[in-house]
Amino acid sequence: MNDPKIELPRIFQANLSRFYLNVVAPVLADLPEPVLEEIAMTNSMNENLDLMAAQVQAHTRNEAAKAFVLVVSGLFERQVRHWALHLFAPQNPREIQHGDFEKLLDKCLDAKQVDRARDDIRKNLVEAIFVANVVRHGDGRTSDELRKVAPQLWIYDPSEYVDINAGPSPDSEQIRIRAGDVKRYVRAGLRFWGRVDTQPMAVTEPPFGMID
């Protein structure tokens, strides 16, 4: 590798794309989102058993989606910190290795003059970071911030997803992550790497049509 700060963006874009296409997308495709119906006294035993199975399936899919956001966000963060060490060549690497990631992301966007508002690239990347932190730590400051920037994650029809946790659930447990949210976060990461790629034929708009 002649110059990591030039070549790593393309490598990281390909790695992130492959992980999504080969791991994330197939798993979520095998966990269809069930359409739930209201439990009623008139339901038969078989209907209610089917409904309970659908509720468990919905819960499992939601947990899988949240887990994938955690993994993908962690992968992207490691990639950015790795690249930033070459991009900025700091005297104190710990500032990049362990510093505030949101600030580092902004520094990278500014260094490459990337329009952070175009396609909501920064918004989606930060939202993914917040979701990952909430999945990891539960209720707290980050979950409050996430509610401000992405209130839609708490908005869904009760028939679409039924919380099956015993007793009252923490606010963070009520997040509903859909397959489209995971794809949106991954697409933002791929756009980031494409737009900081200075080599010829950089892919600034990932070809997701094959899985849409």
Query: What pLDDT sits at residue 37?
Result: 64
Helix axes 101-111, 121-137, angle to 10 degrees: 160
* Residue 191 · residue 4 · CB < 8 Å: no
Query: What pLDDT sits at residue 7?
Result: 96
* Closest by CA position to 16, among listed 59, 78, 64, 60: 78
Q: For residue range 52-64, what is the model confidence (pLDDT) as tens digits?
A: 777 788 888 999 9
Q: Hey, what are 14's tokens?
A: 């390909």
Per-residue pLDDT of the chain (212 residues), as tens digits, is: 689 999 999 999 999 999 999 999 999 999 877 666 665 666 678 877 777 777 788 888 999 999 999 999 999 999 999 999 999 988 899 989 999 999 999 999 999 999 999 999 999 999 999 999 999 999 999 999 999 999 999 887 766 655 556 567 788 888 889 999 999 999 999 999 999 999 999 999 887 544 44
* Closest by CA position to 12, among listed 90, 109, 79: 79
Query: What pLDDT sits at residue 172?
Result: 86
* Residue 37 · residue 14 · CB < 8 Å: no
Q: For residue range 13-49, what is the model confidence (pLDDT) as tens digits?
A: 999 999 999 999 999 999 877 666 665 666 678 877 7
Query: What pLDDT sits at residue 23?
Result: 95
